Structure 1
């Protein structure tokens, strides 16, 4: 590893896990754009490491079946770039927006909460944070799901706006509940 990027326990674990995987696996041909997801759908969900698709069987997602787009809070705004490529280049037609209970983004209701923490890193960091809408969820989880679905359904650049649904994953029971 380059001395500019020191080895850490995480990088060591990642490399050793990958070596074991590559030894027994036959990697896909990555010389061309990959195939479209076999089920032609995309899931927008939170980056929370406790959640699906860390456990893809919870949604019945087989490898290659769907595009999984993850970001903080499961934001449709953040996911739009990936979703446009997914629909226009790789033939996805349906979108599931899945947010979850006990999301870190539900623990704050205003951008200022995050901006104040980032601003402690200096003026450059403060300017960066001030330019970002962190899309806090606050107490209105279902409202956040509805707003994201409405945003995507109104986005004229998307090819398939009629097949967009919104869901809440209940972290205490593992159950998925349709919102819209």
Structure 2
């Protein structure tokens, strides 16, 4: 069975009468910037206490947002539309963005049918590869704080998540930069 058909079958089992979806305002006023790694999904409720409606989640490779990137627009929307008042950047251990290299990405892209001319000159930069996820998180925090269209008073934190246990190690507490 095709994946979409499996999803639709599972959906038919649980979809019922309309439920109140709640507000588009993030109840905990939190925006989480985390990695695209699918292993992180189950940690939202169990390790972070973040359930449906509590937070906005932006998922990007390595939990990295570069200065001036399109992702800053999404982050700004979470602040101004969804009323997020704190930002938490969560990279994780055993991250593919920290372990895969540009050469490997180029090989995989070719194997998946991408023409050489269409492969970025620097796949590592294109995909935001980082050798150190902690430093990548610090770079993201600095980029967010430096963004001219985000409020200066918003706390921006970073914490490394252990992919095996869900435990968080604080890299940066944003309160010191706001209330310092």
Match of 1:136 in 2: 129
2:48 maps to what in 1? 59
Residues in 1 aligned to 2:124 and 2:38: alpha-carbon distance in whole angstroms: 26
In structure 1, what is the equivalent of residue 9 of structure 2? 16
Q: How far has the Cα of 1:169 moved from its partner? A: 0.3
Q: Secondary structure at the match of 1:179?
A: strand
2:105 matched to 1:118? no
C-alpha displacement at 1:11, in angstroms?
Answer: 0.6
* Count of aligned residue pairs for this structure pair: 167
Superposition map of 1:23-172 within 5 A: 23=16, 26=19, 28=21, 34-53=23-42, 55-77=44-66, 79-108=71-100, 111-119=102-110, 121-126=114-119, 133-138=126-131, 140-159=132-151, 162-172=154-164
Distance 2:78 2:141 in 1: 17
C-alpha root-mean-square deviation of aligned residues, in Å? 2.7
* 1:7-54 Cα deviation digits (max 9, x unpaired): x5211111012212222652638xxxx521111110011111111455
CA pair 123-161 structure 1, distance change in 2 beyond 3 A: farther
Asked if the contact 1:119–1:125 (Cα under 8 Å) also holds between the matched residues in 2, the reply is: no
Q: Secondary structure of 2:51's match?
A: coil
Counterpart in the other structure of 1:174: 166
Instruction: Specify every segment of 5 or more residues in structure 2 that has no aligned partner in the other structure, as ranges.
Output: 173-180
- Report the Cα distance in structure 2 between the residues aligned to 1:47 and 1:87, rounded to whole angstroms: 21
Distance 1:137 1:154, change over 3 A: same
TM-score (norm 1): 0.79
1:178 match: secondary structure: strand
